[in-house]
Amino acid sequence: MSVQPPSETTASAPIKRLTVPNLIKRKQAGEPLVTLTAYTAPMARLLDPHCELLLVGDSMGMALYGMDSTLGVTVDMIINHGRAVVRGSKRALVALDMPFGSFEASKQVAFTNAARMLSETGAQAVKLEGGKEMAETVRFLVERGIPVIGHVGLRPQSVHVIGGYAAQGRDEDAWEPIIEDAKAIEAAGAFATVVEGVAEPLAAKITESVNNVVIGIGASAACDGQILVTEDMLGLFDWAPRFVKHYASLGPTISDAVARYAEDVRARRFPSTDETYKMRRPKK
């Protein structure tokens, strides 16, 4: 028996893409939001029926390009993958990560890049990392019609400053700055905030303390929604953070399939008559 994903429309009506107000209403109704990363049209097509939000994350640097961190991702890369995800999806709200160096210099630079990213992809929101220090930039973008998702706690773009990817807020005396970051981003107008890699009680406290949508990753089930890197969740890599649950182990499955293909090619078993074209019969 198949499970029908929640829909905003009847079966006969065209699918309408979810909006920022739709996501806010889901929080108010206590309906958890399902969020995953997407970088390609085929993957977006598979994820779309099940997700309220798809994030074209700068995690693509590591998941797709083999980078050691997210810092090498560019605006052009986000735009190219964003176009693909928008084309491949119909229902989910699509948000784009603002990569390192695209928003920190000034709020005007942030607006120029965010406006270009949305106009060239058709996506509906941007996400940027930072707390109190980015509140003025968030407000500047929102006042000019750009929906913003914040990102506090563990911030991968600050990996060199914090010295790695260690979880944050595991000592209670470190909570207040992170809570204040989340409150500042909400007050500036961000409709949602990603809370990454923090102690579970802190994530629950942040969710209680703000009115915008809180999306957890390595945080708490008490958050208003959850996000994972899709490739991590599907088990495509040998290693994943401890907060990832593997819902499949596709890495070994893919490796096995390629090994069997290679064996067939080397033994000249592929292509067989089933995979080749026959000559047409001559016309009489």
Detail the residues annotated as belonging to a binding site for Mg(2+).
58, 97, 129
Q: Are 186 and 193 in contact (CB under 8 A)?
A: yes
Q: Are 227 and 23 in contact (CB under 8 A)?
A: no
Q: Directed axis angle between helix 175-187 and helix 200-209, to 10°?
A: 30
Q: Which one of the listed residues 52, 186, 196, 200 is annotated catalytic?
A: 196
Instruction: Please report, in range form, the residues annotated as the binding site for 3-methyl-2-oxobutanoate.
Output: 58-59, 97, 127
Tokens of 40: 């390609």
For 8, 79, 105, 143, 164, the CA distances from 233, given in Å and listed in that order, are 26, 24, 34, 36, 22
CB atoms within 10 A of CB 108: 10
Q: Are 230 and 36 in contact (CB under 8 A)?
A: yes
Q: Are 140 and 111 in contact (CB under 8 A)?
A: yes
Which residues does 20 contact at the CB level (< 8 Å), separation at least 6?
93, 124, 125, 147, 191
275 tagged catalytic: no
Place of tokens 């019969």: 281
Q: Are 131 and 155 in contact (CB under 8 A)?
A: no
Active site residues: 196
